[in-house]
């Protein structure tokens, strides 16, 4: 299935009147995602704090969004025709910062200022500090409500842009998430696509031990949402799911993306301790060595 997905032909999309050119070559996108992972490792090591597992595990999803799915323009971040992107679980902002820099929103050198005094790159994103940041986020569970409000505005004003929201599975312990789920279904917000990072970990341990969440897909369907489940590391599947969501007119879409926390860094994968831990010098060296090995598979991409 994975190999078949990689060979899929993406539907042809007319280039926007303005905005970043979309990349459809999956191998190129995988190479970019690996660069994003390496940037996250360097950033967190330099900061000596931050959230590693979730940030690294989301690299494929953010790459798919910013280099294929979203209509946006790094040279004109406030372009009215852009799609809106909301990050709900703001503690994984290192992956967002790394992706924005990779896309050209600001110099990559600035990534090493993460969490430093006076930096534009704080531990949670702040609207107005950096280009490309649509919402400030800190308290968990609020992003889906913000995204639903944006989508309702777009519907009432007959705007063509779409709203996307990345949220975490652990956030589903929050009641506000389910209020937003009901709100979006009530107002038939077909232009809203949410992507859940289903990595099964949160700061206190595994999600199913802290507060069991399953059956998530059935719950969302019962609330009136269109649900798609994907491998969160299969970029072709992510893009296909987002494309499918565009054809769902009167229901919001939840893409449940099954991910591995700390993906591609052997000593981080699946370990809850890396939810809120940064790599030390030797750990950074090992992580970068493992990620650089993956680059061989992307040569020529």
Q: Where are the domains of the chain?
A: 2-9+20-298
Buried b (16+ CB within 10 A) or exposed e, 167-195: bbbbbbebeebeebbebbbebbbbbbbbb
Give the pLDDT of residue 273.
86
**Token couple for 175:** 């009641």
Q: What is the DSSP string of the chain?
A: -HHHHHTPPPPP-PPPSSSPPPP--HHHHHHHHHHHHHHHHHHHHHHT-S--HHHHHTHHHHHHIIIII----TTSTT-TTSPEEEESSGGGHHHHHHHHHHHTSS-GGGGGGTT-TT-S--SS--BTTBTT------STT-HHHHHHHHHHHHHHTT----EEEEEESGGGGSHHHHHHHHHHHHTT-TTEEEEEEE--EETTEEHHHHS----HHHHHHHTT-EEEEEETT-HHHHHHHHHHHTT--SS-EEEEEE--TTTT-TTTTT-GGGTT----HHHHHHHHHHHHHHHGGGTT-
pLDDT, tens digit (0-9, with 9 covering 90-100), for 15-67 = 445 678 899 999 999 999 999 999 999 999 999 999 998 999 999 999 999 99
Mean pLDDT of 72-81: 95
What class is the 2-9+20-298 domain? alpha beta
User: What is the SS3 string spanning 42-60?
Assistant: HHHHHHCCCCCHHHHHCHH
Three-point CA angle 288, 294, 300, nearest 5°: 125
> What pLDDT is recorded for position 299?
67
Question: Which pTM was predicted?
Answer: 0.91
As a whole number, the mean pLDDT across the chain is: 91
Output the pLDDT for position 275. Answer: 85
| pLDDT, position 300 | 63
Q: pLDDT category, 4, cuts 50, 70, 90?
A: very low
pLDDT of residue 78: 95
**What confidence tens digit (pLDDT) does each residue in 99-148 have?**
999 999 999 999 999 999 999 999 999 999 999 999 998 888 899 999 99
Question: Going by C-beta distance under 8 Å and a sequence separation of 6 or more, which residues neighbour residue 255?
Answer: 193, 194, 195, 196, 228, 229, 230, 238, 241, 242, 245
């Amino acid at each position: 299935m994975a190999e078949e997905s990689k060979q899929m032909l993406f539907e042809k999309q007319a280039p926007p009147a303005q905005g970043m050119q979309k990349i459809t070559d999956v191998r190129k996108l995988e190479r970019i995602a690996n660069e994003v992972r390496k940037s996250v490792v360097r950033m967190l090591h330099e900061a000596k704090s931050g959230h590693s597992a979730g940030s690294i595990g989301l690299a494929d999803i953010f790459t798919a969004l910013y280099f294929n799915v979203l209509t946006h323009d790094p040279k004109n971040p406030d372009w009215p025709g852009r799609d809106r992107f909301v990050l709900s679980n703001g503690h994984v902002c290192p992956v967002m910062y790394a992706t924005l820099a990779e896309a050209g929103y600001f110099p990559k050198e600035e990534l090493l200022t993460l969490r430093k005094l006076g930096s534009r790159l704080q531990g949670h994103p702040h609207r107005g500090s950096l280009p490309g940041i649509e919402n400030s986020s800190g308290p968990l569970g609020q992003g889906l409500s913000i995204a639903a409000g944006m989508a309702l505005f777009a519907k009432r004003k007959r705007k063509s842009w779409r709203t996307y929201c990345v949220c975490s599975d652990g956030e589903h312990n929050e009641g506000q998430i389910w209020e937003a789920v009901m709100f979006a279904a009530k107002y038939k917000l077909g232009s809203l696509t949410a992507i859940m990072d289903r990595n099964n970990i949160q700061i206190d341990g595994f999600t199913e031990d802290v507060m069991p969440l399953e059956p998530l897909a059935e719950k969302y369907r019962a609330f009136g949402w269109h649900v798609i489940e994907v491998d969160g590391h299969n970029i072709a599947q992510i893009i296909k799911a987002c494309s499918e969501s565009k054809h769902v007119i009167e229901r919001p879409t939840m893409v449940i993306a099954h991910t591995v926390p700390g993906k591609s860094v052997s000593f981080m994968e699946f370990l809850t301790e890396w939810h809120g831990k940064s790599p030390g010098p030797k750990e950074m060296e090992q992580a970068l060595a493992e990620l650089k090995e993956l680059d061989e598979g992307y040569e020529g991409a």
